[in-house]
Structure 1
Amino acid sequence: MTMVENVRNGLLIGAAPRDEGGREPWFLDPREILRSVRLRWITVLLPVLLFLAVAAAWTRLNPPQYAASTQILIDPRGLQVVKDGLTPPDQASDASLLLVDSQLRVLTSDDVLGRVVDRFDLSQDPEFQGRPTLIGAVKDLIGRLTGRTEPPADPRLTALRILRDRTGARRLERSFVLELGVTSEDREKAARLAGGVAETYLARDAATRSDTTRRAGEAIEGRLAELRDALRKAEDKAQGFRAKRNIVGTRSQLVSEQQLTQLSDQLGAARSRALEAGSRVRQIEGVLAGGPSDSVTEIVQNPTITALRGQLAGVERLRADAEDTLGRRHPSYQAALVQEKALRTAIEAEIRRIAAASRNDYQAAQASERSLAATLERRKAEALKVGDDFVQLRELERQVEASRAVYEAFLVRARELQEQQRLDTSASRIISPASPPEKRLGPPTPVVFVAALVAGLGVGLVGSLGLELLAGRVRSRRRLEGHLGRTGLDALPRAPRGIADAAALRGEFGSVRGDGAYEVAVARLRHRLAAAPGKSSGSAPLVVLVTAADDRAGKAVLARSLALSAAADRERVILIDADPEGSLTRDLGLAARRDLAEALRDRTALTEAVVELPSGVRVLPRPGDLPRSLAGNLADALLRSDADLVVVDLGLVGGDVVTERLIADERIPELLLAVSAKRSHLAAVDRALKAIGPARRPRLVVTDAGLRE
């Protein structure tokens, strides 16, 4: 029979499996994810239904909420109505931000919200009294059963608590604007409450400012009487001390001090005049001694001397003319000399008179200086006597001035605060009134259900993948290849019902040859085994050992299918039941003419122990007791048989000694390890490969795999 095989890359006939490094985990493969979803669709569906039910309950139990907001400008500067306000009109930026944050707390304080509750009568509003819930009902029932019932809550406190939970405020970034939001089940009510909270806050702020100003004014007025009495006592004490010590003067200076100042000034002036007069006397005396007279002001500016000098100049000219024209003996010349001498004598006499007057002035100036100096010394002595008293008087007067300054400042401030009580200096105002909102809070109902669907799918997918990881099943050839790091594993699709059962082996359905996917896959596997390297040449049969890690049923079906496929191709086939369970022998109900154990002891051919079935398959039933010492004889008998293909249905790996001895026999190179995609576990496969050891490299065959793997 000639068959054309359409094999995948890496599954060429005779190609040895190779290791593949860096293969991604199976749970990252979309095909494996879809496979897990199909297998565990209930795990995916239950979270979806649960989340959808929760979403439906949430939309049913939570009535729609609407949020209305308003914006309030908090101006920390205030209005500069009067010169000195109670609070500073301008502050640093950091302090202003702290002030706005503080007003944010005041806006949502219980004082403001409590007045809103009273204003809108929220204590009678069912929305603000709390709706009955299942948890509350359970608590009430437990309380009644245990006798620990709580007293009914105050309606006003309940409304205040609910309003506090539904009110939120925040400061907008980089501004002094507060945004206030209030939620309610009614659009109009939400807008009314938001506006009411803002208006109540502004009214309370103005009232607080006025009350603070009033209390400050009352405190100042309470001190005015004390300050007035203190001022009067200080003034009486200062005036009594002045009268007792006979101190006369102004508040700033005594009379004696004024006289000392005047005498000191007069003494200075007298000394200046004396010095000036002495200087004139010395200059005039120098002129009389023969010095120049042009440097003395009194002589130069004297009109008599000036006239005499003019006459002297005229006489000197006449004398000079007479000397030149008439000679020195002439009477005119002599008369001129007489006149010149008389004029010079007159000038000298005038200078002496000026000198005498200057000496008199100098003496008078010195006398005045001495008199003023004496008087000043007497006044100094008198001033020293009242110095200590005046120091005490000044201290008393300073106390009077201090008491008067404090009293006047308090009096002015009290009058200002009385007027400020009637003024609203706050610049805070509502810049964005609240309006009824258009949309409800939260996502729309379709979005809630879509989110629940997506969340349920996500939880379901993660749960299904997690359960798959915990289950550790093989599921597919691709997953097994990824786990073992090997490619090229053989795979068989799901076997049709009854294709390898006892009736098919007996030939009750006629020929088992077919062109189905399963028959083609079994034939391909058989031809690969026949073409595998290491098979002995000649007339030795192809001996194939079939075992499994934990899938006894899949192993038995694989062994029977290989035998039926070879029998359909007119090959001589022997199917040996070496499974301790003896399922093949039990299903067929066979009894050989000779016991297999006796034939192996005698080392005779297996012909007498073989039962030939109508399907062409010869079956070697398992004896009741096959000693482990005969395992080697069984291998020899299998290799000496006259069949083309010998299929040995072994037990599970590690199940019995005979199976282990046959697996370890290196004369039989073909070892098939059947792995069920549905029933086998990866851990069992690992244990089986570890038990087989690295010396033998079994061919893994994934049974009941998908057609598209």
Structure 2
Amino acid sequence: MLENVQTNTKMLSRSHSSTLAENDEIDLVELFTALWRGKWLIIAVAVLFIVVGGFYAFRFAVPKYTSTTSIALQLNVETFVDIESVVSGVSKEASSMNTELHVIRSRGLIEKLVNKLNLVDDPEFNEALRPEARFSLGRLLGFISALTSGNEDQQPSNSELTSTVTAAREAISAVLVRNTYIFDISATTTDPEKSKLIANTLADLYIADQVETKFQATEQAVTWLSEKVTELEIEIRKQENDIKVLRSNTELMGEESLQALNRQLIDVRDRLNETRADLALSETRLGKIDEFRQSDNLEALVNLLGDPTLRRIYSQLGTADSSSNKLFDDRLSLLAAREQTAVARLEQQIVALQDAVERQQRSIEVQSADFVQLQELERQIEATKILYETFLTRLKETTVQRGLQQADSRVLSEALLGQYVEPKKPLILMLSAILGVMIGSGIVLLKQFVHSGFRTAEELEQYAELPILGQIPKMEFSKRDQLIDYLNTKSTSAASEAVRNLRTSVLLSNIDTPPKVIMSTSSVPGEGKTTQAISLAHNLAGMDKKVLLIEGDIRRRTFNEYFDGSGKRGGILSAMTGNAQLEDLIIRDSRMNVDILMGEKSSVNAADIFASEKFKHFIDDVRSRYDIVIIDTPPVLVVPDARLIGQFVDAIIFTVAWDRTTKAQIAESIRQFATANLSLTGLVLSQIDPKGMRRYGYGGRYGAYAAYGEGYYDT
């Protein structure tokens, strides 16, 4: 038994978890259906926003007018001289064009406009002149500031001028017409004439500013060029004087004299080299003479010296004449002395030539340095003269151009009377309607999202996964004792027909073994389970069934409000204990053919009573005596009585209040029955409000509440 209960509980939990998971998915059809059901709320909110937007557009918003002046950029401005080489104009590049747009809306130019048109005295631009509201945030802040500062001095005029310039700047726009050199200057104000005046005045100020800027640039250029020309004149005179001083302090006559000195230096160096070669040869001969004399190699001496006299004397050395030797020695000594003399002379010549080379080199170095310096000075003065001539020419050109400047722009078309531009009433109304529809839809979807009740049998059946046995609308009576009269007098009403449908569904819930003992319960009080039990008993009695209606809710005992049972003593407890016969405890209401067994107060806990064997025997006894037994029980979430009584019945009817019973209450109730190993026969959606069904958009789909059902029911 316990295992079955646990199994049923787990299956129920999985079932509802899967149902909740499916409900988490966005159903577009349901979404649009919800929006359609709330269409009147959406329309109402949209109409409200349209009214508010219309009030703003037609009564509150200040009309604005825009006027536009077109300015064309002059591509070919004739000039007397090439002034652009000194003062540049407007470039045709996109960056320069965009720069001009910012110049038009610059604070400096707008301030000139404000001063010229005296916009400081215009309340539209100077908010200090506007009548202040009796209560405003600005006034409150000013009051607080006055308290903290201790005085209430007015704002300085400079602050008013700044705020006026800011306001005027916001009212002005400048755009570049695509693929052209045309600017459109627009002014938007509350007065069409004022818009026209501001646009035209700003265009004139912009053109005048271009001329003034060029004039100032020209004056600056003239001043700067004059200073540069004077500086260059002084520099030229100084460089000329430096050249004169250099020429006077050097022996350099010119480039030719420097070349002659170079040639002389080359000649001296050549002579020095030749003399050194001769000295080396003489020293070699002198050494060989000494060498041969010491070795007595007279023949080698004769050949070396090549002197004819010495050769003749040498040829006579072999004769008997002894004077030949003396003559040979004397002649050899003479020739050796000559060689020594030649060596000494050559050495003196080398020294003299070396001194000459050094003097010549020093002279060339000094004159070369002077020549290089002279050339540098000449180049510098030449460059300075060229720069001087260039600046002097530009100075003359700029001086001539001064006073002949022309603007780079011209007015292409003056502004006309301002055209109405705002507020855009159709757009405001359209946006208000869209905003209203969006907010209305949001409200509808929010209500749908937070709503946890059930408005249709489909929703209830899909969530609980149990069959719907009936849908019972509200019954129009104010007191509970009027229920039987309503059922008798309104036998063809929608509610009576709904009870018949419920009766049919209950009897057919088990075709093989139709239920005899039927229990009516709900999750919480006030959901119509007692009304439903009485109505079902009344309807079954009309089928010639012997019906017993038992008040199983012995804690509250509300049957006294429906029937008059004051003449009877005792009730269900007396019948169970046998203190009285059942026939003596039964009461009858003259308005319906049903036996009624009232509840009875007891000191014993009700749950213990319904769990006893006596109650089981009591149910078996009434089952044998009656065709149908209907037991009205307490709510399942309040007390456990319903789960105990349900152990002995054939069918359990669970009542759900329309648009009120929450999903959590239903899920918990089903879980409570599952823990007792009980399953519900079906659900009944009760207390349905027909007007609410139609208001939510369900009336056209559900029989008794649809237009096509009006001919079948009495209202």
Aligned equivalent of 2:99: 102
Q: CA distance change for structure 1 residues 400 and 499 in 2, over 3 Å: closer, same or farther?
A: closer
- The AA in structure 2 aligned to 1:474 is F
- The AA in structure 2 aligned to 1:411 is L
Aligned equivalent of 1:85: 85
Q: CA distance change for structure 1 residues 259 and 139 in 2, over 3 Å: closer, same or farther?
A: closer
Pick aligned residue for 1:128 from 125, 129, 134: 125
CA–CA separation in structure 1 for the residues paired with 2:584 and 2:618: 12
Q: Percent identity?
A: 19
CA–CA separation in structure 2 for the residues paired with 1:169 and 1:697: 79
CA drift at 1:514: 1.8
3-state SS of paired residue (1:245): coil
- The AA in structure 1 aligned to 2:30 is L
CA drift at 1:115: 1.1
Give structure 2 stretches of 5+ with no counterpart: 1-17, 264-359, 694-698, 703-715
Aligned equivalent of 2:306: none
1:238-387 correspondence runs (5 A): 238-245=243-250, 247-248=252-253, 254=256, 386-387=367-368
1:332-381 deviation line (CA, Å, top 9, x unaligned): xxxxxxxxxxxxxxxxxxxxxxxxxxxxxxxxxxxxxxxxxxxxxxxx99
Tell me if 1:119 matches 2:116.
yes
Aligned equivalent of 2:572: 596
CA drift at 1:112: 0.8
Aligned equivalent of 1:627: 606
- The AA in structure 2 aligned to 1:497 is E
Aligned equivalent of 2:585: 609
Tell me if 1:151 matches 2:150.
no
Q: Contact (CA 8 Å) 1:79, 1:427: kept in 2 or not?
A: no
- The AA in structure 1 aligned to 2:540 is A
Q: CA distance change for structure 1 residues 135 and 208 in 2, over 3 Å: closer, same or farther?
A: farther
3-state SS of paired residue (1:701): strand
CA drift at 1:105: 1.5
The alignment's TM-score, normalised by the length of structure 1, stands at 0.69
CA–CA separation in structure 2 for the residues paired with 1:486 and 1:510: 31
Tell me if 1:530 matches 2:507.
yes
CA drift at 1:473: 2.9
- The AA in structure 1 aligned to 2:571 is D
3-state SS of paired residue (1:72): strand
3-state SS of paired residue (1:679): coil
- The AA in structure 1 aligned to 2:116 is R
Pick aligned residue for 1:550 from 508, 524, 531: 524
3-state SS of paired residue (1:680): coil
Moved more, 573-582 or 82-91: 82-91
1:367-410 deviation line (CA, Å, top 9, x unaligned): xxxxxxxxxxxxx9998884443223222212222322232222
Moved more, 79-88 or 56-65: 79-88
1:84-135 deviation line (CA, Å, top 9, x unaligned): 52356797x8xx2222222222110111111111222212223222333548
CA–CA separation in structure 2 for the residues paired with 1:590 and 1:433: 100
Cα RMSD (Å): 3.9
Pick aligned residue for 1:167 from 161, 166, 172: 172
Moved more, 394-403 or 469-478: 469-478
Aligned equivalent of 1:584: 559
Q: Contact (CA 8 Å) 1:500, 1:560: kept in 2 or not?
A: no
Give structure 1 stretches of 5+ with no counterpart: 1-17, 262-379
CA drift at 1:674: 1.1
Pick aligned residue for 1:687 from 668, 672, 675: 668
CA drift at 1:232: 0.5
CA–CA separation in structure 2 for the residues paired with 1:559 and 1:486: 23
CA drift at 1:499: 10
CA–CA separation in structure 2 for the residues paired with 1:510 and 1:161: 79
CA drift at 1:205: 1.8
Q: CA distance change for structure 1 residues 125 and 245 in 2, over 3 Å: closer, same or farther?
A: same
Aligned equivalent of 2:266: none
CA–CA separation in structure 1 for the residues paired with 2:365 and 2:137: 100
Aligned equivalent of 1:278: none
Q: Contact (CA 8 Å) 1:573, 1:618: kept in 2 or not?
A: yes
Q: Contact (CA 8 Å) 1:213, 1:421: kept in 2 or not?
A: yes
Pick aligned residue for 2:222 from 197, 217, 223: 217
The alignment's TM-score, normalised by the length of structure 2, stands at 0.68
- The AA in structure 1 aligned to 2:185 is L
CA–CA separation in structure 1 for the residues paired with 2:39 and 2:668: 28
Q: CA distance change for structure 1 residues 485 and 672 in 2, over 3 Å: closer, same or farther?
A: closer
Pick aligned residue for 1:659 from 642, 655, 675: 642
3-state SS of paired residue (2:630): strand
3-state SS of paired residue (1:652): coil
Aligned equivalent of 1:229: 234
CA drift at 1:235: 0.5
CA drift at 1:48: 5.0
- The AA in structure 1 aligned to 2:371 is F
- The AA in structure 2 aligned to 1:581 is R
CA–CA separation in structure 1 for the residues paired with 2:468 and 2:75: 81
